[in-house]
């Protein structure tokens, strides 16, 4: 008769490892004051600043309706792109990724865990933005499934671009580049300023950016009640394939 106390060494099942790593990723992000400021505080402050004041002239009753979808898009980008690029870049510099490679957790499991943590933080972000927007009088329209589809496409696109940045540049360069892109996309991506304010050719080019497509797509659904904005979905679909593909091709783990 075999003893029930016989040791059985071995790795935990993959789902358990992924859950544990995802929980660690979320806790690490929420303990990081700078990342918390970037992901949760800044989008809400921008919504309050532009939504509750007359700094942005979009006509009476339209300000919060225009702003909220753009701020949601900015929140998605801040986690999936900026936060992930900076965090992964420094993990790569300090050898964290190399050490994780020596554990039973496979690379696919690490990517799954990071994806889950990004989605978990995005849920917190969207909840905070929606709560503040509702207090300002925002009443969304459209199908929630269309919103979820756009957010998933945007998350995939920004995650791929963030990992591409983190896997090809030094950590300090990643920090500078990610923050620069964040500011440029905030100003030029149709988040708080309509693209119609730019000259025609410039506006058309800016409309091909992932942040512009996500902001406009969410605006079409939440403000105008559109079903699935085809052009924005097509742009996001291209970025959601190109970003991860480029990251997989050029990412360096050390």
- The pLDDT of residue 49 is above 90: no
> Distance between alpha carbon 1 and the CA centroid of its chain, in Å?
55
Q: Give the number of C-alpha atoms closer than 13 A to the C-alpha of residue 250, restricted to the C-beta side.
A: 16
Burial group, residue 88, by CB count within 10 angstroms (0-12, 13-18, 19+): buried
Higher pLDDT, 97 or 75: 75
State how far the Cα of 58 lies from the Cα of 109, in Å rounded to an integer: 46
Percent of the chain with pLDDT over 90: 35
What confidence tens digit (pLDDT) does each residue in 121-154 have? Answer: 899 899 999 999 999 889 898 899 999 999 999 9
- The pLDDT of residue 3 is above 60: no
- The pLDDT of residue 1 is above 60: no
pLDDT, mean over the chain: 85
Winning range, highest mean pLDDT, from 23-37, 58-72, 100-114, 233-247: 233-247
pLDDT band at residue 55 under the 50/70/90 scheme: low
Q: Please count the structural domains in the chain.
A: 1
Examine residue 45 and state whether it is found in any structural domain, yes or no.
yes
Three-state SS string over the chain comes to: CCCCCCCCCCCCCHHHHHHHHHHHHHHHHHHCHHHHHHHHHHHHHHHHHHHCCCCCCCCCCCHHHHHHHHHHHHHHHHHHHHHHHHHHHHHHHCCHHHHHCCCCCCHHHHHHHHHHHHHHHHHHHHHHHHHHHHHCCCCCCCCHHHHHHHHHHHHHHHHHHHHHHHHHCCHHHHHHHHHHHHHHHHHHCCCCCCHHHCCHHHHHHHCCCHHHHHHHHHHHHHCCCCCCCHHHHHHHHHHHHHHHHHHHHHCCCC
Examine residue 5 and state whether it is found in any structural domain, yes or no.
no
pLDDT band at residue 22 under the 50/70/90 scheme: confident
Examine residue 27 and state whether it is found in any structural domain, yes or no.
yes
Examine residue 162 and state whether it is found in any structural domain, yes or no.
yes
- Dihedrals phi, psi of 41, to nearest 5 degrees: -80, -50
Higher pLDDT, 96 or 140: 140
Average pLDDT on 153-166 reads 91
Higher pLDDT, 173 or 50: 173
Q: Lowest mean pLDDT: which of 43-47, 213-217, 232-236? A: 43-47
Examine residue 37 and state whether it is found in any structural domain, yes or no.
yes
pLDDT band at residue 227 under the 50/70/90 scheme: confident
Higher pLDDT, 213 or 41: 213
Examine residue 6 and state whether it is found in any structural domain, yes or no.
no
Three-state SS string over 133-200 comes to: HHHCCCCCCCCHHHHHHHHHHHHHHHHHHHHHHHHHCCHHHHHHHHHHHHHHHHHHCCCCCCHHHCCH
Examine residue 7 and state whether it is found in any structural domain, yes or no.
no
Examine residue 109 and state whether it is found in any structural domain, yes or no.
yes
| Residues of the domain holding 22 | 14-250
**Residues whose CB is less than 8 angstroms from the CB of residue 209 and which lie 6 or more positions away in sequence, other chains included:** 185, 188, 189
State how far the Cα of 233 lies from the Cα of 102, in Å rounded to an integer: 39
């Amino acid at each position: 008769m075999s003893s029930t106390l016989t040791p059985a060494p071995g790795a935990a099942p993959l789902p358990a490892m992924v859950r544990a790593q995802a929980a660690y990723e979320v806790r690490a992000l929420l303990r990081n004051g700078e990342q918390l400021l970037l992901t949760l505080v800044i989008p809400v402050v921008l919504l309050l600043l532009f939504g509750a004041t007359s700094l942005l002239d979009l006509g009476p009753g339209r300000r919060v309706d225009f702003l909220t979808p753009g701020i949601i898009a900015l929140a998605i980008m801040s986690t999936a792109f900026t936060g992930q690029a900076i965090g992964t870049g420094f993990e790569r510099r300090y050898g964290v990724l190399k050490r994780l490679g020596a554990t039973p957790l496979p690379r696919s499991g690490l990517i799954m865990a990071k994806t889950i943590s990004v989605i978990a933080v995005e849920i917190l972000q969207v909840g905070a933005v929606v709560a503040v927007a509702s207090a300002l009088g925002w009443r969304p329209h459209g199908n929630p499934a269309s919103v979820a589809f756009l957010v998933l496409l945007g998350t995939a696109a920004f995650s791929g671009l963030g990992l591409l940045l983190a896997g090809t540049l030094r950590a300090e360069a990643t920090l500078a580049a990610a923050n620069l892109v964040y500011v440029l996309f905030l100003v030029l991506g149709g988040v708080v300023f309509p693209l119609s304010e730019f000259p025609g050719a410039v506006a058309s080019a800016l409309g091909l950016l992932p942040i512009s497509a996500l902001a406009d797509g969410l605006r079409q659904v939440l403000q105008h009640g559109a079903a699935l904005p085809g052009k924005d979905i097509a742009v996001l679909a291209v970025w959601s394939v190109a970003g991860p593909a480029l990251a997989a091709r050029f990412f360096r783990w050390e």
